[in-house]
Amino acid sequence: MSDVAEKLAICVERGKVNKSAPYPPDLKDQDGADEIARQALESGVEPDQILEGCINGMDRIGEKFSQNKAFVPELLMAAKAMNAAMVHLKPYFQSGQVKRKGLFIIGTVAGDLHDIGKNLVAMVIEGGGYEVIDLGNDVSTEKFLNAVAEHQNCVVGLSALLTTTMTNMEGTVQAIKEKYPDVNVIIGGAPLTQEFADKIGADAYSPDPQGALAFLNQNA
Amino acid sequence: MNSFERFHKRLQGMPVDRPPNFDIFMTYAAHFINQPLSVYYQDYRVLCDANFAVLEAYDLDIVQAISDPYREAADLGLPVQFPEDAMPVSTEPLLKEHADFNKLRLIKPENGRRMHDRLQAIQFFRERAGGSVPVMGWVEGALAEAADLRGVSQLMMDLFEHPDWVTDLLEFCVDIEIEFAKAQIRAGADIIGLGDAVASQISPEMYEQYALPYEKRIFKAVHEMGAVARLHICGDTSLILQQMAKSGADIIDLDWMVDFAGAAELYADGPALCGNFDPVDVMLNGTPERVKKAVIHCAQAGGPKSFSGAGCEIPDKTPHENLLAQTQALKEFTVSS
């Protein structure tokens, strides 16, 4: 990995957003992900290296999260730093000069308005190099189907926090698999288990964002 | 032995006829009496009727005024919607900007529509069951309340980026919660439960700094008023078990991911444990035999002061026979132990 990519990976992993950000204290007054990405692109660094730095930084913090060495606040700060760098890559994504690994469509299922778990997964997947389409909360089966119809090369992620709404997953999973059998569907959320995923016909279950990313890296 | 005696004796590790059943009921209870959740959460009479119905049906040992997390926040001005038969929803945070904190004003529980409704629930419980069944009130932990007002994700980042602002907000929240707890005890609550769900999502160091000191202050006030303190943190709290014991809670709920026997060993002479079988995998989706096995396992693992309960709320649509299996298992546990 180049120097720029490594510096960026450190900023993302540590949640250093920009120079004026007070966090983390030991990096105070130093350039953050925002400045490093912008200056690197201005000086001719390949945009792929910026993406590589983001992916590595998110991978490191995601790994720590899976191992209980980092927690939700750390993950959110890393995602904020990643987004500060990714803003500068937007034109390169639009022109096709930088390509994503694949497309991930995610939403919290119908009846469920909780979004923190879904958001964390979306951040880690995006940080893993994928384009993420976030359908939001309380997403109907029809809305998932419409999104998949537009992007049939995607992987779909369904989230549920409540025991009362996890049962709504079954209908959505079955509708997607019936119409688009080749589209992989992964589910996650506090009350879910692998057994439940098997029962409703989902392709995978992950208890954490890193597991979802690993599934995409193998199957997207 | 009535439920009140059973509760007090168990708390002191004295012999009882069976371990008390302290399951948390909300959604299930509302639907048990065919009431939509919007009514359950807003009308104390419905909440009380539902509690008495499940109390009788399943030989519970508690009536509880726990509901959604937005009682205090709604009275402080948080916009909360009540879908006909779903959980209340907060669609936008009250504290969108840091400066919005300056608009917050302390409110007396008696003057808040939703907090007052809870006080009425407690009075109603007290009048109908006081002295025979323990009456439990409920408050948010200061950190959970701050998350209700600011939004979870934003507050989580504020912990790093604006720690002084968070501390000011927590100081405000703890005052609200202490006053609310005191008002509930005056209304007749024997137990004050404190929910601090967001505390399981932060590091042990952050828990020590941003959750524990405020839990301690609320429980100190609860004890000064002569009530019992119960700490409930949803999720995996394995990493903060030792700190949770320092909160001063008399009863600590543990969610199903936590090693119950290990916690009982850790807490040997400390707080009583409540839990902790899986509410979904065991209670909602399991068989009566599996429920019985899990209930007995927890009663054995939790030791002589433990209370029986699912790791978190009893899910809606839990099979009737599974709840009866818990009741039966607790009775049989005494016979066989």
The DSSP line for A163-195 is: HHHHTHHHHHHHHHHHH-TTSEEEEE-TT--HH
User: What are the φ and ψ backbone dihedral angles of A157, each rounded to 5 degrees?
Assistant: -115, 130
The mean-pLDDT minimum among A158-162, A174-178, A200-204 falls in A158-162
Could you list the beta-strand ranges (E) of chain B.
Answer: 63-64, 80-81, 89-90, 135-140, 191-195, 228-232, 251-253, 272-277, 307-310
Mean pLDDT of B171-188: 98
| Distance in angstroms (rounded) separating the CA atoms of residues B283 and B122 | 28
Cβ of A190 and B235 within 8 Å?
yes
Give chain A positions within 8 Å (CB) of B87.
Answer: 113, 162, 164
Flag whether pLDDT at B337 surpasses 50: no
The CB-side HSE value for A132 (13 A sphere, CA atoms) comes to 24
Residue B266: give the domain boundaries. 3-336
pLDDT surpasses 80 at A167: no
pLDDT for B336 equals 47
Cα–Cα distance measured from residue A25 to residue A104, given in angstroms and rounded to the nearest whole number: 34
Q: What is the ipTM of this complex?
A: 0.92
C-alpha separations of A195 from A164, B48, B51, B292 in Å:
17, 36, 32, 21
Mean pLDDT over residues B282-294, rounded? 96
Tens-place pLDDT, residues A141-163: 999 999 999 998 999 999 987 77
Residue B187 Cα, gap to closest chain A Cα (Å): 32
Best to test chain A binding among B203, B207, B312 (most A CBs inside 10 Å): B203
Asked if B153's CB is within 8 angstroms of A21's CB, the reply is no
Residue B195's closest CA among B242, B249, B276?
B249
User: Do the chains contact at B202 and A73, CB–CB below 8 Å?
Assistant: yes
* pLDDT tens track for B12-55: 999 999 999 999 999 999 999 999 999 999 999 999 999 999 99
Contact B279 A163 (CB under 8 A): yes
Q: Do B149 and B78 meet the contact criterion of CB atoms below 8 Å apart?
A: yes
From the CA of A6, how many Å to the nearest CA of chain B?
23
What residue type is B2 in one-letter code?
Answer: N
User: Quick check: A65 pLDDT over 80?
Assistant: yes
Q: Would you call the peptide bond into A91 cis, given omega within 30 degrees of 0 as the criterion?
A: no
Q: How many domains does chain B have?
A: 1
B205 vs A: CB within 8 A: no
Round to whole Å and give the CA distance between A70 and A124: 13
**Mean pLDDT, chain B, whole residue set:** 96
A98 touches chain B (CB under 8 A): no
Q: What is the mean pLDDT of residues A127-145?
A: 92
pTM score = 0.93
- What count of CB pairs under 8 Å joins A to B? 60
Q: Which residues of B touch A77 (CB under 8 A)?
A: 157, 160-161
From A15, A191, A193, residue closest to B160, measured CB to CB: A15
Output the pLDDT for position A164. Answer: 66
For A22, name the nearest residue in chain B, comparing CA atoms only: B161
Q: What is the CATH number of the domain that holds B272?
A: 3.20.20.210
Of all residues in chain B, the percent with pLDDT exceeding 90 is: 93
* Residues of B with Cβ-Cβ distance to A113 under 8 angstroms: 87, 89
Place of tokens 């904190």: B101
